[in-house]
Amino acid sequence: MNHYKKIIVYTSVLPLILTLMITSSSAARSSRTIRNQKADNAVNHRLGIGMTYHKAHSDFESLPFGDGDLSYGLSYEYHEGIGYWLLGVDLTPSIGDNDLIDHVVTPRLALIIKDRIYRAGVGVLKSYISDKGNLIDDTDVYYQFNFGISVPLASQLCFDINSLYSFEKWRDINFEVSDIEFNVIVNYLF
């Protein structure tokens, strides 16, 4: 009789133990998912320093940049949910062989959508062209597509690599692969 009691106890306790194990495992996964969603949706800020490699644009002639010109920039990002606002300014200290232009300052505002490491968005820019400290020209407001990735380097650092395509008017986008510019940014998260 003792043997039958053990079998009954084991057969009734075993499903209970399995149910508790599955439930606790499921609850732990659910808890991690909620924490990850909260982390993904948490507002965070980033300060960045970067560099842009410019190309002479085949269709957008009022841009002052030529092949190989470099801009150095500072940026601030405000992240919330699946996207973020990027506010930045670039300084191009010299423009290729052009002796008339001393430097170009380009402020930018962009809305970027993010998914894990991938980024895509559009920005609004305006370039101010100076000669020895005097503003000699500026561009009309123009737009820029931004596609890239953001790779974490440490708990508070990440490295962004972007491809950029500038255009003048939405109805006149004349995409040429040779017009794609590249940008790298090191961001500090806080």
Greatest alpha-carbon span in the chain: 104
63 or 43: which leads in pLDDT: 63
User: To 5 degrees, how large is the angle CA 96–CA 101–CA 104?
Assistant: 90
DSSP state letters, 33-102: HHHHHHHHHS-EEEEEEEEEE----SS-TT----TT-EEEEEEEEEEETTEEEEEEEEEE---TT-SS--
Contact 64, 126 (CB under 8 A): no
CA-based radius of gyration for the chain: 27
Q: How far is CA 90 from CA 20, 69, 127, 173, in A?
A: 58, 12, 9, 23
Over range 157-162, report the average pLDDT. Answer: 97
- Asked if the model's pLDDT at residue 142 lies above 80, the reply is yes
Burial letters for 143-162: b for 16+ Cβ neighbours within 10 Å, e otherwise?
bbbbebebeeeeeeebebeb
- Asked if the model's pLDDT at residue 31 lies above 70, the reply is no
- How far apart (Å, rounded) are the C-alpha atoms in residues 61 and 179? 11
- Asked if the model's pLDDT at residue 6 lies above 80, the reply is no
- Asked if the model's pLDDT at residue 11 lies above 60, the reply is no
Structure confidence by residue, pLDDT tens digits, 70-88: 999 999 999 999 999 999 9
131 or 53: which leads in pLDDT: 53
Contact 95, 67 (CB under 8 A): no
120 or 10: which leads in pLDDT: 120
Fold held by 43-189: Porin (2.40.160)
The residue to which tokens 């965070």 are assigned: 44
Contact 51, 184 (CB under 8 A): yes
Token digits for 135? Answer: 């503003």
Contact 85, 110 (CB under 8 A): yes
What global pTM score does this model have? 0.75
